[in-house]
Amino acid sequence: MTIKVGIVAMVPLSSITVGERARKMMGDLDGLETNMKESGLIAPLAVKDNKDGTYLLLAGERRYTVLKRNNIETIPVRIYPEGVSEAEIKIIEKSENFWRKDFEYYELDQLTMEIHQMQQELYGVKSPGPGQSGHSLEDTGELIGGLSKGAVSMSIKRAEARDAFPELFDGCKTASDASKVLRRLDEEIIKQTILQRLDTQQSSGTLAQLSKCFINKSFFEGVKQIPDEIMHLVEIDPPYALDLAKNKKKDGTFIYDMSEYNEIDKSIYMNGSDDSPWKGMNTLFKECYRVMAPHSWLICWFAPEPWFNDIYTALISAGFNTTRMCGIWTKSTGQTNQFETMLANTYEMFFYAWKGKPALNKIGKGNDFRYPPIPAQQKTHPTERPKDLVKNIYETFAFPGSRVLIPFLGSGSGLIAAHELGLSPIGFELSKSYKDSFLVRVHKMSQTNIV
């Protein structure tokens, strides 16, 4: 028996007729249409030559439907001869789908990751907000058939983890199996493995530069080495002293990892303790005032309930001028642990205070900064804020070349934001785990030429 290949030719779409078909459901035609607009018609349709100028469709009804509704006039087809039997017609139609092997889940994961990376290389990374150019996870989802942002993100994470640790996914037969492995995977092992690889290389460029800016030391110890009056901007995101672990909302199967977060007892929050490394917000503001240039800005995030008046008073006592009309980060979503009696909180506040008489870099800028929060599963620190939010705040107050001090680095997003703006940052963080995560993040970004 020989393989029937037919004759390939271009024919008018209007000359093709559709008879009784085995496929009853067309499926996601919108997703197929998006794919065809991006990649074109890869495989020709199969038709039977009726010898009267018309053709009977044998295989490719979904592609035919999409082509027709897009008013395509002429298409490539594979023409089978007039004498093909009814049995052979059914075999051709069914074989196209029956013998076509579906992708394995890990092949789809890899393909999704590669498509996403290639699209971002072509069009850039889409910034938050309406009307922004670039390519996002949502765009990738639409491109490959209507997947949600979360599904695309998980698919890419599975592909990345499989590339790094293929042996851990042996025996995973489904995407669900692989997702369970991913959730169980010890993040510390991944971080340490990548860091070991970095240690074997001569680090240079952005990674080496930002690594030196991320100092594993208590701010209260490290600030003693900083000379007077040299910093132009200080951004403080301190512990909140409100039992953050209880106030963070559980999100599905994920809950924030609070093991590295150094919460402060309310009794010593403002004034500190002699037998504790925490010396208090009052001492913090006084040290910041000392190292700040004669005309400079300070940003301080805080929990307005219960610390609004205490923080305001401490800033004034340290020598700063400020206003009770705070800066506001407005989020797209909110949270509350008492949904029956309390409105969900959709914003966070920061005091902006000044030493001397500095000028804003963005004159006339409003005090409302609107950015969606980072999804919980993507955070490395429980109070991590979007990098683009931090960049917007920095460039509102700081001029290019300004020196920036970040007393509590956390995830290190502030260092990356300052670096991208051409500022000179330095900061402190007690947790080595956060620095490890930061270095891995910078390494990945440098590999894709993002920083």
Taking 70 as the threshold, does the pLDDT of residue 275 lie above it? yes
More confident residue, 384 or 128: 384
> For the ranges 70-79, 98-107, 165-174, 339-348, which has the lowest average pLDDT?
98-107
Taking 70 as the threshold, does the pLDDT of residue 99 lie above it? no
Mean pLDDT of 133-159: 84
Structural domain includes residue 193:
no
Structural domain includes residue 225:
yes
Is residue 318 domain-shared with residue 221, that is, in the same domain?
Answer: yes
pLDDT-derived band at 249, boundaries 50, 70, 90:
very low
Q: Of 262, 232, 195, whose CA–CA distance to 428 is shortest?
A: 262
Mean pLDDT of 169-194: 74
Is residue 150 domain-shared with residue 259, that is, in the same domain?
Answer: no
Structural domain includes residue 240:
yes
**Average pLDDT of the chain, as a whole number:** 83
Taking 50 as the threshold, does the pLDDT of residue 308 lie above it? yes
Q: Is the dihedral of CA 159, 162, 168, 173 positive or negative?
A: positive
Structural domain includes residue 93:
yes
Structural domain includes residue 131:
yes
Is residue 28 domain-shared with residue 160, that is, in the same domain?
Answer: no
pLDDT-derived band at 357, boundaries 50, 70, 90:
very high
Is residue 358 domain-shared with residue 374, that is, in the same domain?
Answer: yes
Mean pLDDT of 303-311: 95
CATH number at residue 81: 3.90.1530.10
Supply 113's token pair.
């990751």
pLDDT-derived band at 440, boundaries 50, 70, 90:
confident
| Beta carbons of 448 and 207 less than 8 angstroms apart | no
Report how far residue 381's alpha carbon sits from residue 258's, in angstroms, rounded to the nearest whole number.
8
The answer, yes or no, to whether the previous bond of 130 is cis (omega within 30 of 0) is no
Taking 50 as the threshold, does the pLDDT of residue 336 lie above it? yes
More confident residue, 182 or 221: 221
Taking 60 as the threshold, does the pLDDT of residue 101 lie above it? no
| pLDDT given for residue 255 in this prediction | 41
More confident residue, 93 or 164: 164
> For the ranges 32-36, 271-275, 282-286, 403-407, which has the lowest average pLDDT?
32-36
Of 81-85, 171-175, 328-332, which one has max mean pLDDT? 328-332
Q: Where in the sequence is the domain holding 307, given as residue range(s)?
A: 203-447
Taking 80 as the threshold, does the pLDDT of residue 130 lie above it? no
Is residue 127 domain-shared with residue 240, that is, in the same domain?
Answer: no
| pLDDT given for residue 409 in this prediction | 94
Structural domain includes residue 197:
no
The DSSP 8-state label assigned to residue 280 in this structure reads -
Helix and strand numbers, DSSP H then E, in the chain: 16, 14
Mean pLDDT of 412-417: 94
Q: Of 245, 251, 244, whose CA–CA distance to 377 is shortest?
A: 251
Classify residue 417 as left (phi > 0), alpha (psi -120 to 50) or beta. alpha
Residues 195-208 pLDDT 10s: 665 665 555 677 77
Q: Model pTM?
A: 0.58
**What distance lies between CA 192 and its chain's CA centroid?**
22
Mean pLDDT of 181-203: 62
| pLDDT given for residue 315 in this prediction | 98
Strand partners, 56: 17, 48
Mean pLDDT of 13-39: 76
Q: Give the end-to-end CA distance of the chain in Å, rounded to a whole number.
A: 59
Is residue 250 domain-shared with residue 390, that is, in the same domain?
Answer: yes
Supply 389's token pair.
């939010």
Structural domain includes residue 258:
yes
Question: Which residue among 56, 73, 98 closes a domain?
Answer: 98
Amino acid type, 169: F
Is residue 24 domain-shared with residue 60, that is, in the same domain?
Answer: yes
Question: Which residue among 30, 64, 98 closes a domain?
Answer: 98
Taking 50 as the threshold, does the pLDDT of residue 254 lie above it? no
Is residue 113 domain-shared with residue 225, that is, in the same domain?
Answer: no
> For the ranges 139-148, 274-283, 290-299, which has the lowest average pLDDT?
139-148
Structural domain includes residue 44:
yes
Is residue 397 domain-shared with residue 299, that is, in the same domain?
Answer: yes
Is residue 306 domain-shared with residue 415, that is, in the same domain?
Answer: yes
Is residue 141 domain-shared with residue 285, that is, in the same domain?
Answer: no
- Number of domains the chain is built from: 3
pLDDT-derived band at 309, boundaries 50, 70, 90:
very high
| pLDDT given for residue 24 in this prediction | 54
Instruction: Tell me the backbone φ, ψ of residue 428, rounded to 5 degrees.
Output: -125, 145
Question: Which residue among 156, 185, 214 closes a domain?
Answer: 185
pLDDT-derived band at 311, boundaries 50, 70, 90:
very high
Is residue 52 domain-shared with residue 125, that is, in the same domain?
Answer: no
Instruction: Tell me the backbone φ, ψ of residue 405, rounded to 5 degrees.
Output: -110, 130
Mean pLDDT of 319-329: 97
CATH number at residue 339: 3.40.50.150
The DSSP 8-state label assigned to residue 251 in this structure reads B
